[in-house]
Structure 1
Amino acid sequence: MSELKYTPIDEIEQIHSDLRKGFLSGKLKSIPYRKQQILNLAYLLKDNIERFQKAFEADLGRCTLEADFLEINATITEVKGAYYGVEKWAKPEKSPLSMNWTAMRPVTRKEPKGVVLIISPFNYPIWLSLGPLAGAIAAGNAAVIKPSELTPTISALVAELFPKYLDPELFRVVNGAVPETTKILELQWDHILYTGGGRVAKVVATAAAKHLTPISLEVGKSPVIVDPKCDLKTAAKRILWGKMANAGQTCVAPDYILVPQEFQDPLVDALTEVYHSFYPSGPAESNSFGRIITINHAERIKRLLDNSKGTIVVGGPGECDTSKKYIAPTIVKDVGADDSLMSEEIFGPVLPIVPVKDLDEAIKFVNARDHPLALYVFSSENSTKNKVFDNTQSGACVANEVLIHTAAEGLPFGGTGPSGSGYHTGKYSFDMFTHLRASMDSPSWLEILLGARYPPYDDKKAKALSKLSNISLPARSGSGSSPTRWFLFALVLAGLAVLTKRGRLGGFIR
């Protein structure tokens, strides 16, 4: 196992300067070079899967199946997607046909933002660092990864492997805790991605504001609404798995359940049955259940449990051993809105159940709090699902499933409002680290049409420009006017553009 060594604080500014120099060298303007670096990133994981599996077990108590399914395989898949997608993603994008602008050949260039910073959390230290990094590379950026000091084995392994697989002039790892992170945030970056808790997110946002640095943030508390008209057995299995995976340390884990009062006991019975099927010999000795990241984190969760006024169904504070970072998988029913378990994001294997009057009250409960990072609803009724989705706000809204939407290809991952800003995974990571640069090339012959813009102004010129701008509106009834005149005008422009390209109007313009 690699030993975690913090990056000397007096070297951090030089690392930043070296990466700026590397970015300005233009190496990453080459799409083939970007692809090579992305492929190297994929092999960094694939060549060292066993070492990463052991590191996950050492830092988080994760079993191999959970480490592979939740993180390693998902990250390799995302990196591979960037490898195959970068050529298409990076192509300049032509603007739609426009009678006023087509002759100027308007185009949106996809350009890198520069040198970016990715601050990743302890709970998904690979997926939330190397996944976004693939998008940053695809976009042509240099990057610093700041892994969590709470996963020392994984962070040390990443630091060891980076210079063996990636260009050190462009990609570096900075390890450390608060002093090192503070130093990093004093520097100017071209984009910052931070995933973690709301308190630190405010610190990152404040530091970024000093340099007007764009940021993407991800935080949140994710509720589950359970409708009596659902596949109860499947719902219980999926909810409990989502809550207990990685010992509940997942930003989109089900944080609490809202269920109609009369359906609380059937739901509790179903969850209890699933609990015993997951851990037939008890979770304490199960190799399928992880551990909390630190003793302090375990003690925080236990305090929430100790102060809860809800009714323990399974687990509970009496079965916890914080000295071993063990919080027993726990289900608590009859939890009130003002309960200790509702005071903050639990981020542990404790599942509160909050009984409500009906669906309307559940929606009001969600809307009275910060927008969640994910909102789940279990129901067989489309009308129920639509009602929840149409009347709430959240980073994601998912029916009859939990967690795995974050790995679905083509879907963005991100929050809204207090649960975050910005999106990543797949092409969305590329977009996040890309500057969309407007560009056009206006030929001289357009002076025939646009010459009226120059002083001295008169009524004739004003009328000509007004006609060119086409500021007329459709009739109030919604019916539009005939486009024939403008269609013919567009054909003329297109013809002129072709002639210009072939050089047949050069003499006329001169």
Structure 2
Amino acid sequence: MGITENPHPSTAPRESRALSELELPPVVPESAENIVEIVASMHDVVATRLAHPRRFRASQLKALERMLEAHEQDFVDALADDLGKSGVEAKMTEIDMVRAEIDHAQLHLSEWMESKAVKIPLALHPAAAKIEPQPLGVVLVIGAWNYPLQLILAPLVASIAAGNVTVLKPSELAPATSALLGRLVPQFMDRRACAVVQGGASTSKVLLEQHFDHIFYTGGERVGKIVARAAAEHLTPVTLELGGKSPAVVMDGSSVAVARRLAFGKFMNAGQTCVAPDYVLAVGDAARHLEKQLSKAITGFYGKNPLASRDYGRIVNTAHFQRLVAMLGDGDVVVGGGYDEDTLQIEPTVITNVHPDSALLREEIFGPILPVIAVDSFDAAVRFINARPTPLVAYLFSENPRLQSSFGDQVRAGAIVHNAPSLHLAVPSLPFGGVGASGMGAYHGRHGFERLSQMRAVMGKTTVVDTLKAVYPPYTWAKSKIIKRMM
């Protein structure tokens, strides 16, 4: 059944949540000719300024909202089919996250679109200057499989709000969600301004050969480099939301709340979350206490047999499952460790005594395995983090304001979060993005709007009175003194 015998086999069958009632056609990759035609037509639409007016942007945001409302259960079923997500988790982490982005954009769209006056040096008066947001044009959004709805539609919200037209490329590793998006998006959205292109790596290759005005990619570092290289051929700006090994430093391992929050952030979506705590650095004797509390928290969430829990998902495919199972031998399993190859499930697992050169510490785990590493001090934990590539987020579990301040000062990460893993994604006014190896660019709320806009400089100066005579040549000694004083 499993790659090795599962020490904790399921005792209850999981209810099938297939999408037979949706009668979705299989995902058919677009031909290269169709892709070229789609992108060309999008550029033609940009020339008409169709997506620029506020009324059009608002109507498209409303249409996206209606799509989610009318087909919420269809999306829940698709996410269950692709990743085994429970209905509550699918709504909370995917559908409701996108709805929150839509609501926030609808509330602030007029404000975001306004030009903003800026001050002008006195020497240049009379004049006026402002910054005005302008649409970039055609945006390509390449989604990820772990949150196949949220990570394709949240960037779409930003693109719509910014007045762009958008090509969506859902992940082929989440075929049910991809097929559903391919069916529903053309029904609800203006087809001239939003297209869904489906397929695998070959489809992405053809897409990346086209000219876009911005490319938004969510996924791993390896493909992120491919996207960046392809974009460079057209001097296309990119937003890369990657990931990396996000650490969690725990000062008090005996805290029930800390263990619960760690377990919630780590094992949601079966650990397949880019901001999940990738490993724990437990300071002093915190590791010994934390192991016991994590065991209790996991049992409290998923029962004594997590593989039978309706609230616990599965690994996306066999390749990722086998990669994760191989990691189980890289240390001592103190909690969990069971798995079932037939259902592609691995129990929430805690591992200690991890070898420094193991895959668990070299690679982003992206699964339900949590290494707990004992360190002597807070400073040792900071050194451990800083000796590795920059993570997407770094967590500190401590109520000490001095340590919180020191952690933020010393640790470089896309985000610094205290005592609440993953929750910063639910705040639309906070930027979400990486730095260094964890990505470039940020979005959510206004940050997404500005990321997918050109913040254009506009300046005007009257010719009725020519106040620039002092800076025209020829440059006499007196003029040079005046210019120096003006500047």
- Corresponding position: 1:312 with 2:312: no
Asked if the contact 2:254/2:293 (under 8 Å) is kept, the reply is no
Per mean C-alpha deviation after superposition, the further-off stretch among 459-468 and 218-227 is: 459-468
| TM-superposed deviation, 1:337 | 2.5
Specify whether residues 380 and 231 from structure 1 end up closer, same or farther in structure 2 by C-alpha distance, changes over 3 A only.
Answer: farther
- Corresponding position: 1:363 with 2:386: no
SS in 1 for 2:168: strand
Specify whether residues 239 and 101 from structure 1 end up closer, same or farther in structure 2 by C-alpha distance, changes over 3 A only.
Answer: farther
Residue number in structure 1 paired with 2:479:
461
- Corresponding position: 1:443 with 2:462: yes
Asked if the contact 2:254/2:286 (under 8 Å) is kept, the reply is no
| Residues 249-264 of structure 1 mapped to structure 2, 5 A cutoff | 249-264=272-287
Return the alpha-carbon distance in structure 2 between the equivalents of residues 227 and 446 of structure 1.
67
How many percent identity over aligned positions?
A: 37
Residue number in structure 2 paired with 1:241:
264
Return the alpha-carbon distance in structure 2 between the equivalents of residues 136 and 442 of structure 1.
33
Residue number in structure 2 paired with 1:184:
207
| TM-superposed deviation, 1:261 | 4.2
| TM-superposed deviation, 1:342 | 0.9
- Corresponding position: 1:419 with 2:443: no
Residue number in structure 1 paired with 2:451:
432
| Residues 32-431 of structure 1 mapped to structure 2, 5 A cutoff | 32-96=55-119, 98-101=121-124, 103-219=126-242, 220-228=244-252, 232-306=255-329, 308=330, 310-316=331-337, 319-431=338-450
Return the alpha-carbon distance in structure 2 between the equivalents of residues 405 and 348 of structure 1.
20
SS in 1 for 2:278: strand
Pick one of 12, 15, 19 that aligns with 2:42: 19
Residue number in structure 1 paired with 2:9:
none
| TM-superposed deviation, 1:112 | 0.7
| TM-superposed deviation, 1:446 | 4.4
TM-score normalized by structure 1? 0.89
Residue number in structure 1 paired with 2:4:
none
Per mean C-alpha deviation after superposition, the further-off stretch among 320-329 and 287-296 is: 320-329
User: For structure 1, which runs of at least 5 residues remain unmatched after alignment?
Assistant: 470-510
Return the alpha-carbon distance in structure 2 between the equivalents of residues 172 and 52 of structure 1.
19
Q: Which amino acid aligns with 1:221?
A: K
Asked if the contact 1:52/1:154 (under 8 Å) is kept, the reply is yes
Return the alpha-carbon distance in structure 2 between the equivalents of residues 398 and 458 of structure 1.
59
Q: Deviations over 1:83-124 (max 9, x none)?
A: 221111011111035423452211111101110111110011
| TM-superposed deviation, 1:338 | 2.0
Q: Deviations over 1:141-190 (max 9, x none)?
A: 11101110011111111111111111111110111101100000011111
Return the alpha-carbon distance in structure 1 between the equivalents of residues 318 and 74 of structure 2.
24
Return the alpha-carbon distance in structure 1 between the equivalents of residues 409 and 153 of structure 2.
34
SS in 1 for 2:45: helix
Per mean C-alpha deviation after superposition, the further-off stretch among 326-335 and 149-158 is: 326-335
Asked if the contact 1:305/1:340 (under 8 Å) is kept, the reply is no
Return the alpha-carbon distance in structure 1 between the equivalents of residues 125 and 392 of structure 2.
41
Q: Which amino acid aligns with 1:466?
A: K
Residue number in structure 1 paired with 2:19:
none
Residue number in structure 2 paired with 1:499:
none
Q: Which amino acid aligns with 1:296?
A: A
Asked if the contact 1:335/1:355 (under 8 Å) is kept, the reply is no
SS in 2 for 1:352: strand
SS in 2 for 1:51: helix
| TM-superposed deviation, 1:356 | 1.0
Return the alpha-carbon distance in structure 2 between the equivalents of residues 34 and 398 of structure 1.
33
Q: Which amino acid aligns with 1:459?
A: W
SS in 2 for 1:12: helix
Q: Which has the larger radius of gyration?
A: 1
Return the alpha-carbon distance in structure 2 between the equivalents of residues 451 and 322 of structure 1.
80
Return the alpha-carbon distance in structure 1 between the equivalents of residues 362 and 305 of structure 2.
29
Q: Which amino acid aligns with 1:222?
A: S
Return the alpha-carbon distance in structure 1 between the equivalents of residues 366 and 256 of structure 2.
24
Return the alpha-carbon distance in structure 2 between the equivalents of residues 335 and 281 of structure 1.
25
User: Structure 1 stretches (4+) deviating beyond 4 angstroms?
Assistant: none
Return the alpha-carbon distance in structure 1 between the equivalents of residues 268 and 477 of structure 2.
72
Return the alpha-carbon distance in structure 1 between the equivalents of residues 389 and 311 of structure 2.
32
Q: Deviations over 1:358-396 (max 9, x none)?
A: 111100000000111010010121111111111110000
SS in 2 for 1:78: helix
Corresponding pairs, count: 463
| TM-superposed deviation, 1:231 | 7.1
Return the alpha-carbon distance in structure 2 between the equivalents of residues 93 and 312 of structure 1.
57
Specify whether residues 249 and 97 from structure 1 end up closer, same or farther in structure 2 by C-alpha distance, changes over 3 A only.
Answer: same
Asked if the contact 2:247/2:279 (under 8 Å) is kept, the reply is yes
Asked if the contact 2:120/2:129 (under 8 Å) is kept, the reply is no
Return the alpha-carbon distance in structure 2 between the equivalents of residues 96 and 41 of structure 1.
38
SS in 2 for 1:183: helix
Specify whether residues 348 and 105 from structure 1 end up closer, same or farther in structure 2 by C-alpha distance, changes over 3 A only.
Answer: same
Q: Which amino acid aligns with 2:382?
A: I
Residue number in structure 1 paired with 2:15:
none
User: For structure 2, which runs of at least 5 residues remain unmatched after alignment?
Assistant: 1-21
Return the alpha-carbon distance in structure 2 between the equivalents of residues 141 and 231 of structure 1.
50
| TM-superposed deviation, 1:128 | 1.2
Asked if the contact 1:208/1:214 (under 8 Å) is kept, the reply is yes
